[in-house]
Amino acid sequence: MRFLIYVLVGIGIAANGLGAFSLLRFPDVYTRLHGATKCTTFGSIFTTLGVIVYGFARGGPAYQTLAVHALIALVALLITNPTGSHAIARAAYRSGVKPKGAVVDRLEERR
């Protein structure tokens, strides 16, 4: 059980670290959002699963409550993370940030 928790948290930290690294490597706000959104969501799913497994394995009311709360936090995260990143991308486009090095921009043609 301990091993399973280590694996889950390890995957989560690796994915989250990758997300942070993508901020350094990519050129503009849209490509950075790609890394930041996907990797942090995937990483947080696994760290939260680690907490849930820990909570149920440890047992007792306090830890079971912790596990249930972590599960609900996970659901909230899965809904809000992509929504927030969509809002940032849309706001960035509306305030005039053009995608850097874009080969095609259909949104530009609409206006």
Q: Which of 51, 45, 50 is nearest to 77 (CA)?
A: 45
Binding mask 33-72 for other proteins (x = CB under 8 A): xxx-xxx-xx--x---------------xx-xx--xx--x
- Burial of residue 48, with CB atoms counted within 10 A of its CB: 0-12 exposed, 13-18 middle, 19 or more buried: buried
Candidate residues 15, 49, 53, 70; the one interacting with other proteins per rule CB under 8 A: 15
CB of 6 to other proteins, least distance (A): 19
Is residue 95 near other proteins by the rule CB under 8 A?
no
Is residue 97 near other proteins by the rule CB under 8 A?
no
Displacement of CA 89 from its chain's centroid (Å): 15
Residues whose CB falls within 8 Å of the CB of residue 111, separated by 6 or more in sequence, listed in order: none
Nearer to other proteins, 5 or 45 (CB): 45
* Pairwise CA distance, residues 98 & 108, whole Å: 9
- Given a contact cutoff of 8 angstroms between Cβ atoms, the answer to whether 36 and 8 are in contact is no
Which residues in this chain contact other proteins in the complex, by CB under 8 A? 15, 18, 21-22, 25-28, 30-31, 33-35, 37-39, 41-42, 45, 61-62, 64-65, 68-69, 72, 79, 81-83, 85-86, 89-90, 93, 99-108, 110
